[in-house]
């Protein structure tokens, strides 16, 4: 038959004790696109077409794990037949897709399979550092019983012990007799939360957290009856993180990631927590104690609604004592000057990003954090909030991507190995309420909501090219129909083609550290409400730092009015970021140039022209005129075919969209020259 090359495409449960991997043949040509089943050695058919056939998957595993001799070596332990099958399905699912293997390269005397390393480079089932029982497809246990039935049971028990040891060493709680409580005191139940932490797609550690069942903790009302006063805790906008990366690229700053270990328990209880500041908890399942005793909390614990606020209050007070000042309108971003070196800081709960052009000064700043809190020092910034960051000092670039998260989305929805698409949606797509299903099936509804929800974080952090599609899909999450699901799956097909796309910031860009951007509107683009759609992108140092694609809140009576509303929204965001840059020490000395393709809108921003036709516009929309008058923003006319923000207001043909995507992602060096060409 010649060489045989296959690739995993699906898994299938045959019986209670049998599962198979479905593979598609790529060669020989006579069998191209045919599918067949691959079995574990012990489950190969004893009769029929597959009798004595070499359809084992064990050799594929052996090329990744040479020591693998049985299911035991890929994490399967003594358990029920149903649990064995579930584990086999999880392992097989992790093998779907990846690199194609050439069967002619295998020694037929030593191997039993027609596939070799189906995962491809970087997608191994396990590595030598992985604990016993772990595979890439190993799920997080949902509760204690699942953890104790898991192949990684020993690791979870160790992690539980380390968590409790850390809490005791920090003086988080103390034992008290239940008989000492007053009738007003409440005792809250607790449990262990289990999470497999991965870095760069590889196993990092098993993490266990003791958490309070916060759903039983009530906020205090006017009668002061309840368990806490306030739970709000600020975090920086994604554009703040982008701003720090952009500045660090242009100024050749070192960027470090600092993680605070068990951050919440390093805070202090707030005055309004508990009854007379007394909060009591019971011991979790898996850490049994004398039933006569409970615990009185001395510090906040995960699961308490006010824990994040307590930690932020403690952290902010320390940073203020160290001379840090908040920047702009952000309450979780700071600036400190040490030996004439500016140091921008951003903190998303317990994850810090710190940048400075001088390495010793940056180390000194981190040392102060180490002295105040127990810190896990992550060294140079490579992974942050699910993003991958790569710095190239020679080329003077920083790239920001979510490749692993995008791959996870595609694999979880079965779209990793499918024909891709060039655009997120078909040109001229218009989703309508008329396509909604008033009573969608539960599995259909959950799948649609899962796709849309997972796309949201991509759009927030690294993918402005998906912003318009996400905005349109989000309108229909309550009653999705067939047309909406087809559109969502079309976005996944586009993501399959662009899963490794990244934002790029470039050192030496034209107008260094200066903010500029594009704004556009699609007049009456929503066929259900006839509201217009706003799209804008703000750029700095070659890459985007802020973007938005959303339906406007009012109905505009003309194209110029819709564009004026969009310009007002972009102006608000520009003012917000200008204040941040000013407090970081990078004052914007000229007006922020925002390119607009509607001449009437540009004219109205500078003069009250066409008063008879524009006086009905809400006074709030004249905010942009005030910004122009103050020299904060200036609208610059631009030809429509160069309007990059057009990709955030409608579905475009492939050549136009791809060109705009390259510019908005920072992949076209000196994009300002493209605008002026």
What residues does each domain of the chain span?
A: 5-105, 144-380, 403-502, 508-676
Q: Say if residue 98's pLDDT is above 60.
A: no
Q: Which residue has the tokens 């399905």?
A: 89
User: For residue 124, which of 60, 47, 180, 188 has the smallest C-alpha distance?
Assistant: 60
Q: Say if residue 570's pLDDT is above 90.
A: yes
Mean pLDDT computed over 438-461: 94
Query: What's the pLDDT tens digit per position in 240-255?
Result: 999 999 999 999 999 9
The pLDDT, as a whole number, for residue 94 is 54
**401, burial (CB in 10 Å: exposed 0-12, middle 13-18, buried 19+):** buried
**Sequence-separated (6 or more) residues with CB below 8 Å from residue 625:** 604, 605, 606, 608
The pLDDT, as a whole number, for residue 112 is 34
Q: Say if residue 78's pLDDT is above 70.
A: no
Q: Say if residue 56's pLDDT is above 60.
A: no
Domain 508-676 has CATH 3.50.50.60: no
The pLDDT, as a whole number, for residue 273 is 85
A 10 A CB-CB count for 422 gives 13
d(CA 138, CA 75) in angstroms, rounded, equals 9
Query: What's the pLDDT tens digit per position in 133-173?
Result: 787 778 899 999 999 998 888 899 999 998 898 889 888 99
Please, which residues bridge with residue 351 across strands?
259, 348
Please report, rounded to a whole number, the percentage of residues in the chain having pLDDT higher than 90. Answer: 47
Q: How far apart are the first and last CA of the chain?
A: 57
Query: What's the pLDDT tens digit per position in 381-395?
Result: 998 988 999 999 899
The pLDDT, as a whole number, for residue 521 is 94
The pLDDT, as a whole number, for residue 497 is 92
d(CA 487, CA 470) in angstroms, rounded, equals 10
Q: Say if residue 37's pLDDT is above 80.
A: no
The pLDDT, as a whole number, for residue 541 is 93
Higher pLDDT, 71 or 86: 86
d(CA 551, CA 61) in angstroms, rounded, equals 50
**183, burial (CB in 10 Å: exposed 0-12, middle 13-18, buried 19+):** exposed
Q: Say if residue 72's pLDDT is above 60.
A: no
d(CA 373, CA 263) in angstroms, rounded, equals 8
User: For residue 274, which of 220, 314, 232, 311 has the smallest C-alpha distance?
Assistant: 220
A 10 A CB-CB count for 368 gives 17
The pLDDT, as a whole number, for residue 103 is 43
User: For residue 35, which of 12, 6, 56, 15 has the smallest C-alpha distance?
Assistant: 6
The pLDDT, as a whole number, for residue 52 is 42
DSSP letter, residue 250: H
Q: Is there a contact between 543 and 241 (Cβ–Cβ < 8 Å)?
A: no
Mean pLDDT computed over 414-429: 90
DSSP letter, residue 90: H
Query: What's the pLDDT tens digit per position in 179-214?
Result: 898 888 889 999 999 999 887 777 888 999 999 998
pLDDT class of 374 with cuts at 50, 70, 90? confident
Q: Say if residue 122's pLDDT is above 70.
A: no
d(CA 144, CA 189) in angstroms, rounded, equals 14
d(CA 382, CA 216) in angstroms, rounded, equals 38
pLDDT class of 81 with cuts at 50, 70, 90? low
b/e map 285-300, b = 16+ CB within 10 Å? ebeeeeeeebbbbebb
b/e map 545-584, b = 16+ CB within 10 Å? bbbbbbbbeeebebbbbbbbbbbbbbbebbbbbbbbbebb
Please, which residues bridge with residue 346 across strands?
333, 353
User: For residue 299, which of 370, 373, 401 has the smallest C-alpha distance?
Assistant: 373
d(CA 665, CA 287) in angstroms, rounded, equals 50
Mean pLDDT computed over 489-510: 93
By DSSP bridging, strand 18-27 and strand 35-38 are: antiparallel
pLDDT class of 528 with cuts at 50, 70, 90? confident
A 10 A CB-CB count for 638 gives 22
Query: What's the pLDDT tens digit per position in 130-140?
Result: 787 787 778 89
User: For residue 497, which of 424, 447, 429 has the smallest C-alpha distance?
Assistant: 424
pLDDT class of 358 with cuts at 50, 70, 90? very high
Q: What is the dihedral of CA 265, 269, 270, 275, to 10 degrees?
A: 130
DSSP secondary structure string for all residues of 489-525: HHHHHHHHHHTT-EEEEETT-SSTT--EEEEEEETT-
The pLDDT, as a whole number, for residue 50 is 44
């Amino acid at each position: 038959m010649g060489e045989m090359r296959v690739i995993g495409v699906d898994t299938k449960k045959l019986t209670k004790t049998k599962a198979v991997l479905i593979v598609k043949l790529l060669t020989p040509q006579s069998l191209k696109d045919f599918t067949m089943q691959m079995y574990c050695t012990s489950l190969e058919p004893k009769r029929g077409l597959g009798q004595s056939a070499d359809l084992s998957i064990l050799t594929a595993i052996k090329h990744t794990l040479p020591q693998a001799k049985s299911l035991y070596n890929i994490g399967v332990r003594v358990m029920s037949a149903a649990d064995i099958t579930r584990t086999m399905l999880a392992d097989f699912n992790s093998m779907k897709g990846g690199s194609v293997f050439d069967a002619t390269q295998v020694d037929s005397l030593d191997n039993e399979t027609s596939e070799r390393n189906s995962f491809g480079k970087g997608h191994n089932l396990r590595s030598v550092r992985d604990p016993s029982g772990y595979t890439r497809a190993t799920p997080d246990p949902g509760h204690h019983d699942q953890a104790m039935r898991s192949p990684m049971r020993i690791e979870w028990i160790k992690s539980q012990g380390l968590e409790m040891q850390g809490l005791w060493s920090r003086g988080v709680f103390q034992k008290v007799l239940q008989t000492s409580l007053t009738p007003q005191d409440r005792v809250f139940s607790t449990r262990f939360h289990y999470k497999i932490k991965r870095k760069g797609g590889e196993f990092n550690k098993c993490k266990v957290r003791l958490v309070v069942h916060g759903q039983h903790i009530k906020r205090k009302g006017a009668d002061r009856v309840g368990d806490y006063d306030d739970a709000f805790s600020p975090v920086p906008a994604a554009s703040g993180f982008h701003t720090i990366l952009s500045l660090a690229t242009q100024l050749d700053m070192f960027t470090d990631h600092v993680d605070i270990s068990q951050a919440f328990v390093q805070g202090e209880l707030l005055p309004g927590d508990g009854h007379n500041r007394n909060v009591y908890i019971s011991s979790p399942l898996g850490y049994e104690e004398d039933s006569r005793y409970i615990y009185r909390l001395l510090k906040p614990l995960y699961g308490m609604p006010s824990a994040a606020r307590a930690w932020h209050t403690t952290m902010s007070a320390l940073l203020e004592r160290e001379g840090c000042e908040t920047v702009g309108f952000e309450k979780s971003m700071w600036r400190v000057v040490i030996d004439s070196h500016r140091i921008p800081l951003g903190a998303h709960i317990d994850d810090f990003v710190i940048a400075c052009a001088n390495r010793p000064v940056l180390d000194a700043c981190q040392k102060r954090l180490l002295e105040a809190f127990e810190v896990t020092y992550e060294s140079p910034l490579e992974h942050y909030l699910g993003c991958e960051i790569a710095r190239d000092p020679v080329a003077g670039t920083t790239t920001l991507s979510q490749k692993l998260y995008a791959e996870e989305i595609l694999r979880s929805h079965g779209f990793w190995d499918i024909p891709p698409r060039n655009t997120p949606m078909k040109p001229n797509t218009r989703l309508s309420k008329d396509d909604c299903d008033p009573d969608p099936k539960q599995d259909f509804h959950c799948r649609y909501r899962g796709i849309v929800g997972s796309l949201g974080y991509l759009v927030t952090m690294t993918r402005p090219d998906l912003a318009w599609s996400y905005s349109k899909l989000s309108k229909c999450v309550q009653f999705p129909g067939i047309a909406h699901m087809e559109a969502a799956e079309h976005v996944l097909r586009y993501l399959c083609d662009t899963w490794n796309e990244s934002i790029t910031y470039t050192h030496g860009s034209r107008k260094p550290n200066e903010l500029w951007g594009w704004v556009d509107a699609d007049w009456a683009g929503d066929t259900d409400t006839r509201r217009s759609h706003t799209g804008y992108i703000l750029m700095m140092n070659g890459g985007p730092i802020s973007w938005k694609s959303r339906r406007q809140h009012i109905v505009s009576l003309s194209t110029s009015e819709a564009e004026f509303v969009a310009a007002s929204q972009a102006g608000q965001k520009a003012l917000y970021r200008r204040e941040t840059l000013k407090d970081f020490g990078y004052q914007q000395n000229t007006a922020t140039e925002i390119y607009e393709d509607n001449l009437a809108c540009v004219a109205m921003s500078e003069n009250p022209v066409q008063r008879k036709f524009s006086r009905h516009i809400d006074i709030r929309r004249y905010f942009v005129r005030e910004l122009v008058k103050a020299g904060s923003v200036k609208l610059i006319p631009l030809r429509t075919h160069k309007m990059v923000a057009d990709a955030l207001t409608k579905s475009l043909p492939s050549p136009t969209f791809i060109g705009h995507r390259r510019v908005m992602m920072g992949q076209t060096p000196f994009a300002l020259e493209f605008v002026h060409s």
